[in-house]
Amino acid sequence: MQRHFSGDKAEMAARLRKVEGQVRGIARMIEEDRYCVDVLVQIAAVRAALNQVGLSILRSHTRGCVASAIREGDGDAAVEELIDTLMQFLH
Amino acid sequence: MQRHFSGDKAEMAARLRKVEGQVRGIARMIEEDRYCVDVLVQIAAVRAALNQVGLSILRSHTRGCVASAIREGDGDAAVEELIDTLMQFLH
Amino acid sequence: MQRHFSGDKAEMAARLRKVEGQVRGIARMIEEDRYCVDVLVQIAAVRAALNQVGLSILRSHTRGCVASAIREGDGDAAVEELIDTLMQFLH
Amino acid sequence: MQRHFSGDKAEMAARLRKVEGQVRGIARMIEEDRYCVDVLVQIAAVRAALNQVGLSILRSHTRGCVASAIREGDGDAAVEELIDTLMQFLH
């Protein structure tokens, strides 16, 4: 079985746990009727944190799965899947 | 005291609780070594959900705080703050 | 007749003329088979420049048309249109 | 010499020529004081078109340069450069 997140797994999961806490904090801000702009700034911060996690995963995916596929002569499908995934990030 | 999220408050908090659950699910996917592309698709979904919440807040903020400021002749500072916030969303 | 871009009109048109030149330069880079990453960096620069122009227009639109509509008690439709437009920018 | 855009070169250059025309059209809309929201819709359309061109270039870059580097055992630097470029697209 191929391991997808080997080295960085614990770190990435930790970053997502932090994001989870940030989202919980934003829900609380709304319940406490905090100033909208402060809430929006927090939402933008969570988006930026998710982009960072997404890029880390893309990096290990390209280095791992995509590179393996390319070395085994089966790269085109892997690259196509990669581009399809990126398209969802540009939305 | 001005209430910022009146009508939609419960709904927006509920949507963020759902986002919180999605982020927890993504952390678990990483810990379970799930396929990277599946993780990335989930991250893109959370981004889209956060954009929706952000737009809802922008809507009530513009209708509420910004509109009040404009009616009271003090709109320019409110619009400037709104644009600054939007800039963070285009990043 | 309401003027939409009064003060900044010449400046915004000039920025777009510059963007137009950048895009022409990118087409040329492709025709000359320049290194892909250099081309992508230029495309990202044009995206950023377009975001800036878009935010400038949003600013004058909100200060002008949206503020007028709010003062005349007709703000909700204008804010709704504004949010719909923003949604397209988050895609 | 490695050709970067072989097959799709003419098509990509043609799409950028079209984007160039769209940008020129937006500059004209501003000079003619057209309704801001119509201008913003056109800017969003250009952004989307640029994203499409960017993804096409990413696809051929990953299939071409990055895949070659991986096959020659020199993939890590190429993947790193790819991720750095993507980061600029998420901004």
Q: Is B65 near chain A, with CB under 8 Å?
A: yes
Subunits next to D (3 or more Cβ pairs <8 Å) are A, C
Handedness of CA A43, A37, C45, C51 (dihedral sign): positive
Query: For C40-45, what is the mean pLDDT?
Result: 94
Q: Is D49 on the interface with A (CB under 8 A)?
A: no
Inter-chain CB proximity B33 and A5 less than 8 Å? yes
Q: What is the mean pLDDT of residues B18-34?
A: 95
Q: What is the pLDDT of residue A20?
A: 97
C-beta atoms of D62 and A67 within 8 A: no
Closest CB to D53: pick one of C43, C58, C89.
C43
Q: Which of A77-81, B80-84, B85-89, D26-30 has the highest mean pLDDT?
A: D26-30
Interval D31-54: pLDDT, tens: 999 999 999 999 999 999 999 999
Residues of D in contact with A80 (CB under 8 A): 59
Question: pLDDT at position D5, please?
Answer: 65
Is a pLDDT exceeding 60 seen at residue A2?
A: no
Give the model's pLDDT for residue D1: 40
Kindly state whether C90 is in contact with chain B, defined as any CB-CB distance less than 8 angstroms: yes
Contact A76 D83 (CB under 8 A): no
CA–CA gap between residue A45 and residue A48 (Å, rounded): 5
What sign does the dihedral D39-D45-D86-A13 (CA atoms) show?
positive
Contacts of A67 in chain D (CB under 8 A): 70, 75, 79
Q: Pinpoint the alpha helices (H) of chain B.
A: 9-31, 36-61, 67-71, 75-89
A59: closest CA of chain D, how far (Å): 6
Q: What is the CA angle C37-C39-C40, rounded to 5?
A: 65
- Pull the structure tokens for residue A47: 């988006």
Which position has the higher pLDDT, B88 or A82? A82
Between residues B3 and C73, which one has the greater pLDDT?
C73
C63 touches chain D (CB under 8 A): no
Domain limits of chain D?
9-89
| pLDDT per residue as tens digits for the range B64-86 | 899 999 999 888 899 999 988 88
Is C3 in the D-facing interface, judged by CB distances under 8 Å? yes
Q: Which tens digits make up the pLDDT trace of D68-88?
A: 999 998 888 999 999 888 888
For residue D19 the two structure tokens come to 């984007």
Q: Is any Cβ of chain B less than 8 angstroms from the Cβ of C53?
A: no
State the distance between the two ends of chain D, measured CA to CA, in whole angstroms.
32
Which pTM does this prediction carry?
Answer: 0.85
Q: What is A9-89's CATH number?
A: 1.20.58.1000
